[in-house]
Structures are given as structure tokens and as C-alpha cells.
Amino acid sequence: MALDWKTKDGRAVLRRLVENAQVLVENFRPGVLERAGLGPEVLHEWNPDLVIVRISGYVQTGPRASWPGFGRAGEAMSGLAHMTDYADGAPMPPGFPAADSTTGLMAAYGAMMALHAVQNGSARGQVVELAIFEPLLRLIDYHVPTRTGTGVRVDQNGLQAPNSYAPAGVFRARDGKWVTISAGSAATWRRLLEAAGGKEWAGQPQFQSLDGFAEHMDEIVDRLGAFVAQHDAQTVIDIFQAHDAVAAMVYDVDDILADPQIAARGDIVGVDGDDTKVVGPVPKLDKTPGRLRWLGRSELGADSRAVLQELGYNAGQIDNLTENGTVAEPDR
């Protein structure tokens, strides 16, 4: 729906929308809704149970509240960009809008918790507020306690695990494909070493303690890299699987589209009459699964009339709203 909510008629439509809604999401710069006379106190007067989700660069309070902010700024402020790339390289943002995507996910999570509070009677409508940097700051999680609890900085570490606490890396196989290898405990570390170097090497004294692993990490990484380089990627995967060790091929998008596990999960979906495919709903619910209905509306206001009809407006009223510019419809 396309609505000019700053006009008198538009404000009346917005009020009816709010009165019939459970959640309102806004991502204006702080103060925009308040200056329009639509702050949370007004919205909750219209609908006391409304959950208001507010997303902005730095939220409504604090010394940076008025600053503009986008995903790149959030990836920088969270520490993510600093932790990515080699030690002597420039900080590297991820190859997708990580801050935007994770903020959307965490906003949905917050909205559902607030809705649950409404439904179980523990609270009425409330405001869920997120700065664009906060979800990544929370999801990275370990860099703050590592620094404050141990005094160790979490810095760029190339293709290895953070701070080289565990054997890990990304290595190029003989056929040019890349394989990532990791281990999460002493037992899995030794299985990994056995897969790459045999039982004799894995059983050496220096690999029987966590300190020994850390002290000999360069040797381990070099040996893993040499092992992977001697084989095709699928052979590497098969050998590690046989040793119950973890290795995975680094997929490009064509690998994703061809993978049988992804296909079995039904993770790539589309709609009839369109060759474009997208990633389907995740997570999957067994009783109320999500479904794909369309790939996005190409015309502004494609559903304006349908939404207004659901709100109780008749055809004449809708025509008036479109003719005076309050509501937009395609080709109007």
C-alpha cells in the first residue's frame, strides 16, 4: 500500500491501520514520527496493544542519536569489519548486508516476544528499539568477554579461527575448489589431525594438550594446507567424513543450487511463471509453515485498494482517496 500519511485524510487512514494492526515497523531517523505527531504515546493511544519496532542508525537516545547510519557503519561499529581479513590487511566488510539482515531478524524476534507478552497478559503494547550496530555486536558475542575477561584482543586472523585457539582454516584443493576445516574440542582436533596426517602424527606429545595445540598452530595449519592441496576437494571431504572430522566445501551460488541437501530441504523456491528463484522461509515450522506467494510487487501501491477494503472503506471512498493523492494505485 502507498499512503501519504502526512495529510489529514492520510492520517485518518493510518489511524485505522494502526487500530487494526498488531505491529508497526519504522526506520526513520530519530524524531521524524514525533515531529509528525505520531510518537509512541499517540500510537498507543490509538491502539494500546500495538508493538512498535523502531530501527535506526543509533536509536532515539545517546550522543549519536541524530546521526545517520547505514549497514556499513553498523558492521564497523560492532567490530565485525575489524575482525575480518588478514592481520596486515585492511578491515573488510562482509560480502552481504550483514548489519541490515541481522537487524531485521532481531527486530522480528523482539516483535514476537512483545506480541507474546500482549497475548499472555503480562504487558500491553511496547516499543522494540534497535540500532543498526547492536544485533551484530550481540551475535559476535565473544570479543567483549575475551578482551575484558582475559585481556586478549580479538583481531584479524586471516583464514584461521579467532585467536588461533583451535585448528581451522580455508585451503585450496588440487582441483581449485576451496575447503574449510574446523574443530571444536580436543577429541575432534585429534580426529582432524589423524585425517590429515595419520595416527602417528596426531598422537605426538605436543598435540595432547590445549597449550600444545596453540603453540604448534602454524605447523598444524601448514600440514592441513599441504594435505588438502594433494587431493581434489570431494576426496578431502570424504577422507574427513571417514574420520568423523569436519570439513566442508566452500560453495558458490551454482554449488548451492545443485546441492542435494539444500534441495531435500526445499530451501530454494519460486513461483509459477517466473524463472527467478529465492531462498525460502527459514526456519521451517511443521504445523504452520511459511510459503512464498510472490517475488515482490513491481508497481507502487499494488495492494492499496485491497488493504483499504479490508479496513472497511467502500469503492467511492477509495476513489476519493486515490484522486486526491492520499493513496497511490498503479496507473492512477
CB 160 within 8 A of CB 168: yes
Residue by residue, DSSP assigns 193-213 as HHHHHHHHHHTSGGGSSHHHH
- For 58, other C-beta atoms within 10 Å of its C-beta total 22
For residue 78, give the nearest of 100, 60, 62 by alpha carbon: 100
Residue by residue, DSSP assigns 51-63 as EEEEEESS-SSST
- Cell triple for 102: 541481522
Total residue count of the chain as it appears in this document: 332
Marked catalytic residue, from 100, 254, 274, 286:
100
Catalytic residue list contains 100: yes
What is the distance between the alpha carbons of residues 80 and 189, in angstroms, rounded to a whole number?
A: 26
CB 162 within 8 A of CB 83: yes
| Helix runs in the chain, H state only | 8-19, 32-35, 40-46, 71-77, 80-83, 98-119, 134-140, 143-150, 186-202, 210-215, 217-229, 233-242, 253-258, 260-265, 304-310, 315-323
Cα torsion for 264, 267, 268, 272, to the nearest 10°? 90
Sign of the CA dihedral 72, 75, 76, 81?
A: negative
Any idea what DSSP says for residue 30? T
Residue by residue, DSSP assigns 289-330 as ------S--SSTTTTHHHHHHHTT--HHHHHHHHHTTSEE-T
Residues involved in catalysis: 100
